[in-house]
Amino acid sequence: MNRLIAVLSKSRKLKSFIRMASSFKEGLCRVELHCHLDGCCRPETIWNIAKRRGMMDALPGNTLEEFLTELRVSGSGTLAKFLHSFEIYMPVLKGDRVGIKEIATELCQDKMNDGAVYFEATYCPHFLSDDNLTTEEVVQLVNEGFKEGEKKFGVKARSILCMIRDKPEWCREMVELCDKYRSEGVVGIGIAGDESVALEIDFYQGVKEAIERNICRTIHAGESGPASNVQEAIEVFKAQRVGHGYHCVEDDNVYELVKKTGVHLEVCPTSSNVLGNVSPDWTKHPAIRFAKDNVNFSLNTDDTLHFNNSLQTEEDIAMKYFGMSKEDIITARVYAAEATFLPEGEKRELVEHVKKFSVSV
Ligand SMILES: [Zn+2]
């Protein structure tokens, strides 16, 4: 019998059947491309880690509910509060081996509960490292956490390491880590951070190196910054994806470029609205135009910890305000699947899976 299996397993057909049968979890059909690992953790997990580490003084509020009110952002003028909230809780996660792995595994469960079959989470390992934990160890811990989550919950998780606009000194290391861990779950490199900060030469050198090493790229651009940042992401950084990209509609030439190149825009409806990066009037959201013009875009959460949102709520918003039908929602899911940084074979399989299980939105 063992011999028969050995012979059969050599057959390419059977191998491909085994792969087809086991790669993606039945029933789940959403794909998320834009979420931040450290912006999507559970508040109770941060609370418990702080307790365990004797760091409760670092957190505001006497109860989990009070702590939550400090983290959740809504209404106008919330950008400062949003940025400040990271400063509040990141010291609790920083350098904590158990906690870092835990938030990665939990993210898989949360995404499963939100109907996601596959997601790519972005993070900058420097924000989670300290004197006792190197950036490389952080990457290893996140990879382990995702592997465990994938095994437990059936959701495939990959990561994107992020360069930060005001930290040019970290660029080189990000490229090296992406390259070194590409077979361990790291599928791409990104740039995030305050768009008003001009990029230093290190970013151009870093991305050039990434292109040469065939590392996939997604750049936060046109979120709060101008259309020219989207143009730069496409033309200079040769990005396959742009994080947000809303302001591309303000320059006809750049909008044409977006349409012509088919670059994928990672739209985050709640985030864009709450942080004031687009008009507070939903009827003026750029995604309405994206949907009408069949621009290549997906719907994403960005930071669920702060926005208390989900892929479900983002799809609801798109149907309510962007004029998207159920079919349009499925199209956006398929576009997301096609824009993943997975190897071509796995990507095709994911696309078919999303189509198959998206029949009833
Ligand atoms: Zn983001």
pLDDT digits (tens, 9 = 90+) for 291-300: 999 999 999 9
Classify each residue of 122-147 as buried b or exposed e, where b means 16 or more C-beta atoms within 10 Å of its C-beta: bbbbbbbbeeebebebbbbbbbbbbb
Let me know if residue 130 belongs to a domain: yes
223 carries an active-site annotation: yes
Q: What is the pLDDT of residue 82?
A: 85
Give CA angle at 273 (111, 43), nearest 5°.
40
Give CA angle at 341 (43, 349), nearest 5°.
105
Give tens-digit pLDDT for 78-105.
677 888 889 999 999 999 999 999 999 9
- In the reported structure, the alpha carbon of residue 303 is separated from the centroid of ligand 1 by a whole-number distance in angstroms of 7
| Residue 211 half-sphere exposure toward CB, CA atoms < 13 A | 14
Split into its structural domains, the chain has a count of 1
On average, the pLDDT of the chain sits at: 92
- In the reported structure, the alpha carbon of residue 220 is separated from the centroid of ligand 1 by a whole-number distance in angstroms of 7
**β-pair partners for 218:** 190, 241
- In the reported structure, the alpha carbon of residue 36 is separated from the centroid of ligand 1 by a whole-number distance in angstroms of 6
In the structure, what pLDDT confidence band is assigned to residue 116 with cuts at 50, 70 and 90?
Answer: very high
- In the reported structure, the alpha carbon of residue 269 is separated from the centroid of ligand 1 by a whole-number distance in angstroms of 12
Other Cβ atoms closer than 10 A to 109: 14
- In the reported structure, the alpha carbon of residue 243 is separated from the centroid of ligand 1 by a whole-number distance in angstroms of 6
Let me know if residue 7 belongs to a domain: no
Q: Is the pLDDT of residue 152 over 70?
A: yes
Let me know if residue 19 belongs to a domain: no
Where is pLDDT greater, at 315 or 2?
Answer: 315
Residue 95 and residue 133 in contact, taking contact as beta carbons nearer than 8 Å: yes
Q: What is the pLDDT of residue 130?
A: 97
What does the pLDDT average to over 28-41? 97
Where is pLDDT greater, at 58 or 173?
Answer: 173
Q: What is the pLDDT of residue 73?
A: 82
Query: For the domain that residue 300 is a member of, what is the CATH number?
Result: 3.20.20.140
Q: Which of 62-71, 243-252, 280-289, 352-361 has the lowest mean pLDDT?
A: 352-361
What does the pLDDT average to over 266-280? 95
Q: What is the pLDDT of residue 349?
A: 96
Let me know if residue 17 belongs to a domain: no
Other Cβ atoms closer than 10 A to 257: 17
Domain span holding position 86? 28-357
Give tens-digit pLDDT for 341-359.
999 999 999 999 999 999 7
From 32, 209, 223, 314, the catalytic residue? 223
- In the reported structure, the alpha carbon of residue 204 is separated from the centroid of ligand 1 by a whole-number distance in angstroms of 20
Give tens-digit pLDDT for 188-199.
999 999 999 999
Q: What is the pLDDT of residue 77?
A: 53
Give tens-digit pLDDT for 305-334.
999 999 999 999 999 999 999 999 999 999
- In the reported structure, the alpha carbon of residue 357 is separated from the centroid of ligand 1 by a whole-number distance in angstroms of 27
CA 149/CA 166 separation, integer angstroms: 32
Q: Identify the H or E element spanning 35.
A: strand 30-36
In the structure, what pLDDT confidence band is assigned to residue 13 with cuts at 50, 70 and 90?
Answer: very low
Let me know if residue 23 belongs to a domain: no
Beta strands (DSSP E) in 172-284 are 186-192, 216-221, 241-244, 264-267
Q: What is the pLDDT of residue 360?
A: 55
Let me know if residue 75 belongs to a domain: yes
Q: Is the pLDDT of residue 134 over 60?
A: yes
- In the reported structure, the alpha carbon of residue 227 is separated from the centroid of ligand 1 by a whole-number distance in angstroms of 17
Other Cβ atoms closer than 10 A to 272: 20
Let me know if residue 12 belongs to a domain: no
Q: What is the pLDDT of residue 132?
A: 97
- Which amino acid is residue 119, in one-letter code? F
Let me know if residue 216 belongs to a domain: yes
Give tens-digit pLDDT for 228-263.
999 999 999 999 999 999 999 999 999 999 999 999
Structure tokens that stand for 343 in this block: 């190897």
Q: Is the pLDDT of residue 2 over 60?
A: no
